[in-house]
Amino acid sequence: MSQASQMLFGSEEPQRAVPVLVPVPADRPYSYAVPVGMAVEPGSIVQVPLGPRQVAGVVWDGETEVINPAKLREITKLFDCPPLQPAMRRFVDWVAAYTLSPPGLVVRMALRAPAAFDPEPMMEGFRFAGVSPERITPARARALELAASMPHWTRSGLAHAAGISAAVVDGLIKHGSFEPVALPPHPAVPLPDTTYGRAELNAEQISVADSLRAATVNADYGVTLLEGVTGSGKTEVYFEAVAAALDAGRQVLILLPEIALTQAFIDRFHTRFGAPPAEWHSDMPPRMREKIWRQAAEGRVRVVAGARSALFLPFRELGLVIVDEEHDPAYKQEERTFYHARDMAVVRASLEKVPVILASATPSVESRVNASQGRYEHLRLQSRYEEAALPDLSLVDLRRHPPARGRFVSPVLLTAIEQTVARGEQALLFLNRRGYSPLTLCRACGYRFHCQQCSTWLVDHRLRGQLSCHHCGHTEKRPESCPECGTMDHLVACGPGVERIAEEMLERFPNSRTVLLSSDLPGGPKRMRRELEAIADGGADIVIGTQLVAKGHHFPLMTLVGAIDADLGLANGDPRAAERTFQLLHQVTGRAGRSGRASRGLIQTWQPEHPVMQAIASGDEERFYERELAERERAGMPPFGRLSAIIVSAATRREAEDYGRALRAAAPDDGGIDVLGPAEAPLAVLRGRHRFRLLCQGSRQESMQVFLRRLFAAAPRPRGSVQVQIDVDPQSF
C-alpha cells in the first residue's frame, strides 16, 4: 500500500482511497474507496457513482484527501481495458492548466467512447478438427473442403460461402468434425504496408524525406515545419516519415482540419500503403468510435487520421504526429474547452517524446516565427511536382472593371471563364460565403431580416427556401411579403453568396456544366465526395464553392481560379485578418494548374493596393510575412505578445456588463498584462444571450495563466444567468 493510501473503517478492513478524475466540470479528482481485492493503479479506467449516476473515470496520480471517510463511496467497477498512460495523463493536466479548463472536461475528451472500456465480446467460431464424418453428402463435402482452406469460420460465414444451410454446419459440429474457437469480434485490421505504393521521389523531395525519416527514427521530441507550395508533394514526402514510424513499430496520428477532406485523404493513404488508416471524428457512429478508441489503446490500429479530437486518443505506442494544413483555423475549438489542436499536438508530442511534423503551403505566422527562431526545424519544397507551374496571378480592380448591375463577376473574369471552358478546361469561382445572399431587405419600408436570437442578419438560402442564422442555426421559411409593412414582392437580396454566383453562371453560360459546392447542400459528405471525384474526372466546366474547395483537392483540368470577393475577410478588424486572407487566397489559387497546363488566378478586389493583394499578385510571400511580423511585433500581438479573451454572457445586457466590470476590477494590476474592456463582443447577442468581452494582453514573459488564475480568485463568483468562457490565444474576434 502506498503512502497516499488511507486506512479507513478500522483495522480489520483496510481500505484504500484514490483520486478519480470524472468527466464533469470538476477542477480536481474526487476521492473514491477501492473495494478490497480490486487492483487499481494510476490510469486505470473505472466506474464510479456520481450523484445518482454511474460514470467512467480515470484513477489519477497523487494523493487523495479524504475529508469525511463515512461519505466515501466505492469504485463500482474496474474496466478490463488498458490504463491511460502517464504521458496521456500529463497531457490532460497540461491542457487543463493551459486553457484554464476543468481537468474533468479535458478527460472527457479522452473518454469519448464509453462502451470501449469493456472488452469486446468474443464471437463463437470454429475450425476444422481434422476428422471427417462417416457419412459424406455433397453439401458436407463442400463445407469440409472450404473449412480446411481457412484457419477459422463463423457458422453463418461458412454456410454462406459454401451455399449450404447452417443446419449442415451444425451437423458437422455435432459430429466433431469442427471444433469451437473464440474469435475476436472484429476481423484483424489490415495493416499498412510501408513499401506498397511508394512513390518515386524527385531530388528535392528525397532530401526533405531523408530529414523527416531521420527525425522519425531518432524517436525523440522535435518539431519540423514542412513548408511547400501547393502541389509540391508534401503529403507524398511526409508519408515517408509515416513509413519510418511504422517500420519502427510505432503508431502514427495524422490530424486533418476538416471532415470533408478526410475521405480523399483516406483514399490517398490507401493507395500509398495498401490499407486505409483508421478514421476518427466526432460525427462517427458511437460503435465505430468505440472500436477505434480501444484498438488505439491496444496498439492494434497503427495509423489514425482524424479531426482535432483525435488528439485525445489513448495511443499505446505513439511514434509520430502530423498536423496537415497546420495554419487552418478549423484546428481551433471554440466551445467548452477552447484549444488549438496544432499547439496541443506539439504539446502531446513533447510529452510523448516523439517528433511532430507541421505541414502547410502557407504556414501560420506563429510557426514561421518558431522556425526562424530555431525552435522548429524548417524544411521546404520549393517547386511543384513534375512540370506543373504555379498559376499566373493578377488582380482585377473592381473600381475599374465593375460587374454589371446586380451581378458580381467582372467582365474580365467572364471572358477568362469563357476562354477556359472553350478549351475544355475548368474554372473555379471562389466565394467564402454560403447561401444566396447575406442580407434580405424590404425595398418598401427598409426592414432587414435579422435573427431574433442573435445580433446578425439572416442569410438567404434560396435552394432550401429558407432564411437562416449562421450563428445559432435558426431557420425560417423564406417569406414572400415583408413582416413589417406587409408589402409583397419587394424583398431584395443584398450581396452575393455562392448560390447567387452559381445562378449568374447558369444565366451567362447556360450550356456549361456548373457545379456548386458548399458544406450546407443536401447529400452530406457522400455527395460531396462524389462531386469532388466528378470534378477531378472532368465532369464539370465551372465550379463554384466556399473555402471547402480551397483545400487540398487535386483537379487536373482546373486552369482558372477566380476569387469573387477577395476583400471579404479583411474588413472585420481581426488581428489575423490579413494572414487568413493571404492563406485562403493562396490556397484557392493553388487549385489551378496542378497538372502542367498553363493556368491563371484572377482576384477581384476593391483594394488592389492592400498589402495582402500585393503579396498575392507578386507571389512575394516573404515580404508579406515580414511585414505582418513587423506589424504584430509593433502591436504586441501574438506570437510576440500573449492574448486571451474572457467572454461574459448573460440573459440581460446589464448582467453581462456588470460582471465584466467586476472581473476587470479583480484583475491584478502589478504586472505586465493589460485588460481592455469590458466591451460588447463582436457578436453582441448569441442565442439570446448578451455578450461582453475582456481582452488581456501582455508580453511573452508574463504567464497568462497565472494572471487569469489570480483574476478569477479575486473576482466574485458568477451569479444568476452569468456564464464565463476563457479563450487563451484567441484566433479571431
Min CB(685)–Zn ion separation in Å:
8
DSSP state of 48: E
Min CB(433)–Zn ion separation in Å:
17
Please select the residue that binds ligand ADP; options are 490, 554, 627, 661, rule is CB under 6 A: 554
514 makes contact with ligand ADP (CB under 6 A): no
391 makes contact with ligand ADP (CB under 6 A): no
Q: Is 485 annotated as a binding residue?
A: yes
Q: Taking contact as CB under 6 A, which single stretch among the options 7-15, 128-136, 228-236, 677-685 is the one that binds ligand ADP?
A: 228-236
Do the Cβ atoms of 256 and 325 come closer than 8 Å? yes
Instruction: Look at residue 474 and give the partner it binds from Zn ion, ligand ADP, none, a contact being a CB closer than 5 to 8 Å depending on partner kind.
Output: Zn ion
Task: Quickly list DSSP for 280-305.
Answer: E-TTS-HHHHHHHHHHHHHT---EEE
Min CB(448)–Zn ion separation in Å:
14
Restricted to residues 633-662, the positions that interact with ligand ADP (CB under 6 A) are: none
Q: Is 696 annotated as a binding residue?
A: no
Min CB(452)–Zn ion separation in Å:
7
Instruction: Look at residue 385 and give the partner it binds from ligand ADP, Zn ion, none, a contact being a CB closer than 5 to 8 Å depending on partner kind.
Output: ligand ADP
List Cα–Cα distances, 179 to 16, 135, 145, in angstroms: 45, 18, 15
Do the Cβ atoms of 660 and 694 come closer than 8 Å? yes
Distance of CA 525 to the CA centre of its chain: 15
597 makes contact with ligand ADP (CB under 6 A): no
The 10 Å Cβ neighbour count of residue 720 is 10
DSSP state of 415: H
Only one residue has cell 479583411, namely 570
Please select the residue that binds Zn ion; options are 15, 76, 154, 453, rule is CB under 5 A: 453
E strands present in 45-101: 45-50, 53-59, 77-78
Q: Is the Cα dihedral 459, 462, 464, 465 positive or negative? A: positive
Q: Is 454 annotated as a binding residue?
A: yes
Q: Is 81 annotated as a binding residue?
A: no
Among the listed residues 68, 76, 58, the one whose alpha carbon sits nearest the alpha carbon of residue 19: 58
Q: What's the one-letter identity of residue 465? A: G
Task: State the distance between the two ends of the chain, measured CA to CA, in whole angstroms.
Answer: 52
Instruction: Look at residue 554 and give the partner it binds from ligand ADP, Zn ion, none, a contact being a CB closer than 5 to 8 Å depending on partner kind.
Output: ligand ADP
Q: What are the cell numbers at 391? A: 498559376
Distance of CA 55 to the CA centre of its chain: 27
Instruction: Look at residue 117 and give the partner it binds from ligand ADP, Zn ion, none, a contact being a CB closer than 5 to 8 Å depending on partner kind.
Output: none
Closer to ligand ADP by Cβ: residue 83 or 233: 233
230 makes contact with ligand ADP (CB under 6 A): yes
Q: What are the cell numbers at 494? A: 443584398
Angstrom distance (rounded) from CA 185 to CA 410: 60
Min CB(173)–ligand ADP separation in Å:
50
Closer to ligand ADP by Cβ: residue 127 or 198: 198
232 makes contact with ligand ADP (CB under 6 A): yes
Please select the residue that binds ligand ADP; options are 50, 129, 161, 199, rule is CB under 6 A: 199
Restricted to residues 396-425, the positions that interact with ligand ADP (CB under 6 A) are: none
472 makes contact with Zn ion (CB under 5 A): yes
Which residue is at the shortest CB distance from ligand ADP?
A: 233
200 makes contact with ligand ADP (CB under 6 A): yes
Restricted to residues 423-452, the positions that interact with Zn ion (CB under 5 A) are: 451
Adjacency order of strands within the sheet including 30-34? 30-34, 16-21, 53-59, 45-50, 77-78
Q: How many residues bind ligand ADP (CB under 6 A)?
A: 15
Please select the residue that binds Zn ion; options are 316, 464, 474, 554, rule is CB under 5 A: 474
Task: Quickly list DSSP for 446-460.
Answer: --B-B-SSSSSBPEE
User: Can you give the C-alpha Rg of the chain in angstroms?
Assistant: 30
Please select the residue that binds Zn ion; options are 58, 209, 469, 563, rule is CB under 5 A: 469
Among the listed residues 315, 266, 321, 320, the one whose alpha carbon sits nearest the alpha carbon of residue 294: 315
E strands present in 409-474: 426-430, 439-442, 459-461, 466-468
Q: Is 469 annotated as a binding residue?
A: yes
Closer to ligand ADP by Cβ: residue 229 or 613: 229
Q: Taking contact as CB under 6 A, which single stretch among the options 168-176, 200-208, 301-309, 535-543 is the one that binds ligand ADP?
A: 200-208
Min CB(477)–Zn ion separation in Å:
16
Q: What is the 3-state secondary structure (H, E, C) of 593-658?
A: CCCCCCCEEEEEECCCCCHHHHHHHHCCHHHHHHHHHHHHHHHCCCCCEEEEEEEEEECCHHHHHH
Angstrom distance (rounded) from CA 615 to CA 566: 13
Min CB(188)–Zn ion separation in Å:
48
Min CB(474)–Zn ion separation in Å:
5
Instruction: Look at residue 230 and give the partner it binds from ligand ADP, Zn ion, none, a contact being a CB closer than 5 to 8 Å depending on partner kind.
Output: ligand ADP
Distance of CA 583 to the CA centre of its chain: 18
Instruction: Look at residue 453 and give the partner it binds from Zn ion, ligand ADP, none, a contact being a CB closer than 5 to 8 Å depending on partner kind.
Output: Zn ion
Closer to ligand ADP by Cβ: residue 381 or 696: 381
**Binding-site ranges for ligand ADP (CB under 6 A):** 199-202, 205, 228, 230-236, 385, 554
**Binding-site ranges for Zn ion (CB under 5 A):** 451, 453-454, 469, 471-472, 474
Q: What residues are designated binding site?
A: 442, 445, 451, 454, 469, 472, 482, 485
Q: What residues are designated binding site for Zn(2+)?
A: 442, 445, 451, 454, 469, 472, 482, 485
